[in-house]
Structure 1
Amino acid sequence: MEAAKHRLVYSLLRLGLPLLSKDQQAETGLAFDFLADQEKTVLTGHAQGLITLNIAEADDAERAKRRQAMGEPYRTLLGHFRHEVGHYYWDRLIANTNFLSAYRQLFGDEQQDYGEALKLHYQQGVPDDWAKQYISTYASAHSWEDWAETWAHYLHLIDTLETAHAFSLRVAPKVAQEDDSLSANIDRDPYTLKNFDEIIALWLPLTFAMNSINRSMGQPDLYPFVIPPPVIEKLRFVHQVCHAWR
């Protein structure tokens, strides 16, 4: 859990985002609680800068059990951290800022009753066309969850690309020599790129290659997602917000 937290903090520092602990800034700082189930079940979540994680999530078998029960294609400790810190940065970067209007155009009205929205999500299920608008089924539950899921995905994307850049990876499949969309030379640090189109152009070939390698080992796709155009625009917005802060 600490290793995943450290990787999260590394990304936040690379992005140049406001990052203070609650010891430094009690009202708006960031803190983490790692708790175990006792009399009550510990729910992973965020509240006013405090991110809580159930330590049972660190057990691979337990996490896989929960992933299957929730019908999720992906569930990791790092994913939890990235999602919950997305809620924290909504409060810091979007609420009461000039970005709020553009946010609502892309993600919807966050003033919708949150508790009622989650209740309906679990009672009625997800819209049939959710994959055309959202990165995950949970993103369809409420505007805030759409933001948090998209934010987490943005961190997945740039951190993985930075690792590929550190290894000087180049994707040039022989079976698609005339299709440039499947080729990429990851010779740039994604944290420094201002043009989001360049990031997507590197990301799609890399994920195609990673998934193909996993299938060769009989493993599930390393990247079990499809990014529809509306989600690309949401990711672009996250990118713009981060670079505007920097």
Structure 2
Amino acid sequence: MKLFQCSKCGNTVVFENNLCVSCGHYLAYSSYYNQMVSLEPNRSEWAIPSLNGETYKYCANNLHGICNWLIPIDNNSEFCLACSLNRTIPDLSYQKNQEHWKQIEFAKHRLVYQLLRLKLPIVNKGEDPETGLCFDFLSPKNKNNLKTGHAHGVITILISEADAVTREKVKEKMEERYRTMLGHFRHEVGHYYWDILIRTDENVLSGFREIFGNDMVPYDGALQNYYLNGPRQDWQNFHISKYASSHPWEDWAETWSHYLHLMDTLETAYNFGLKTTPNLQGTHRLGFNADFDPYYENDFPTILKTGIALFYSLNSMNRSMGKDDAYPFIISEPVKTKLTFIHNLLFQRKSF
């Protein structure tokens, strides 16, 4: 992600901050201009010269402490682009739900930031019931079969996933190497964009099937077989995760989420000016220079080479702190081909 500063005092701030602790000014994010701006406290609207001099207000969810995004004062909606995608939110009369919703929204806002950087269409399901997108944040207490997932543009996220202890228990039970709230969003939105980018385009669908396999294989049966018998023995040679081996749709969604992991991490490295010259003897491939914005880099081998070295460095740093690997995955040659397919698909439709 981009590095942000308070435009009043220059203090470094993070994406979710709504107050600069250095100078006391409010902070707000413009998704249209991709800028963080400082605002005079104790006001409800602001004319902002750096945002074309237009007048803005906070998204209504700023009152809940879960959003710092701006909207034009004359916007028909009270909500920003990210919050307008919500169809169902948790019952806020419960304190725990408020805390969980905050974590969910922080992850979702980062997702929407990235979708904008990728220039992907973001259409509210309320405006377009057929092809739009919306989110339901639900509790499984009253519905035993309720699961995190996607169906026809509706992404359901169980609010229990925002609890770190619960998430770790599920991760252990499912024998997963990685499980985060942001990871859930990236995976599920991958299913949505499969419908948008692939399902209705015969040429793209044909290319997808050549690389990911036959999506016409019955989905429910494939998942049942996966949960009963586990993944194929050599799944590491062809897939980014065990679950990716269950069906081509899940292979796509898992690979898509890893593409987003890669791009976001590289953008962060680029903004920090990261590069390494490892103290190693002989020829090696661990050195990297993240001197490019990945969202403007057409050459995927450059992205992949830099990203793999970066992930190795992050894993090594984590191990120095006694933590698990930040990126505990091996990117095989078939997975590289799948990631390349996603990158080329997105860059072919982008226009700068």
TM-score by length of 2: 0.68
* 1:119-134 paired onto structure 2 within 5 Å: 119-134=224-239
Question: How far 1:180 moved relative to its partner?
Answer: 4.9
* 1:19-34 paired onto structure 2 within 5 Å: 19-34=122-137
* 1:190-201 paired onto structure 2 within 5 Å: 190-201=294-305
In structure 1, which of residues 98, 109, 116 is the aligned counterpart of residue 214 of structure 2? 109
Aligned to 1:171: 276
Aligned to 2:240: 135
In structure 2, which of residues 94, 105, 113 is the aligned counterpart of residue 10 of structure 1? 113
Deviations 1:59-117 (A, max 9, x none): 00000000000000000000000000000000000112121111001111111100000
In structure 1, what is the Cα distance between the partners aligned to 2:179 and 2:279? 33
Question: How far 1:39 moved relative to its partner?
Answer: 2.1
Counterpart of 2:279, as a letter, is K
Q: Does 1:76 align with 2:198?
A: no
Aligned to 2:160: 56
Q: Secondary structure at the match of 1:135?
A: coil
In structure 2, what is the Cα distance between the partners aligned to 1:46 and 1:244? 26
Aligned to 2:325: 221
Q: Identify unmatched segments of 5+ residues in structure 1.
A: none
Counterpart of 1:47, as a letter, is A
Question: How far 1:40 moved relative to its partner?
Answer: 1.4
Q: Does 1:146 align with 2:251?
A: yes
In structure 1, what is the Cα distance between the partners aligned to 2:141 and 2:163? 17
In structure 2, which of residues 172, 176, 194 is the aligned counterpart of residue 90 of structure 1? 194
Question: How far 1:26 moved relative to its partner?
Answer: 1.6
* 1:203-222 paired onto structure 2 within 5 Å: 203-222=307-326
Aligned to 2:8: none
Deviations 1:119-165 (A, max 9, x none): 00011111110000000000000010000000000000000100111
In structure 2, what is the Cα distance between the partners aligned to 1:150 and 1:209? 21
Question: How far 1:175 moved relative to its partner?
Answer: 2.1
In structure 2, what is the Cα distance between the partners aligned to 1:104 and 1:201? 26
In structure 2, what is the Cα distance between the partners aligned to 1:157 and 1:179? 25
In structure 1, what is the Cα distance between the partners aligned to 2:289 and 2:260? 20
In structure 2, what is the Cα distance between the partners aligned to 1:39 and 1:30? 24
The structure with higher relative contact order (CA 8 Å, sep 6+) is: 1
Stretches (4+) displaced over 4 A: none
Q: Secondary structure at the match of 1:221?
A: coil
When Rg is computed on C-alpha atoms for both structures, the one with the higher figure is 2
Question: How far 1:171 moved relative to its partner?
Answer: 1.6
In structure 2, which of residues 334, 337, 340 is the aligned counterpart of residue 230 of structure 1? 334
In structure 2, what is the Cα distance between the partners aligned to 1:94 and 1:217? 42
Q: Secondary structure at the match of 2:231?
A: coil
Counterpart of 1:159, as a letter, is D
Identity of aligned residues (%): 51
Of Structure 1 and Structure 2, which has the larger fraction of its residues in strand?
A: 2
Q: Secondary structure at the match of 2:280?
A: helix
In structure 2, what is the Cα distance between the partners aligned to 1:59 and 1:38? 15
Aligned to 1:187: 291
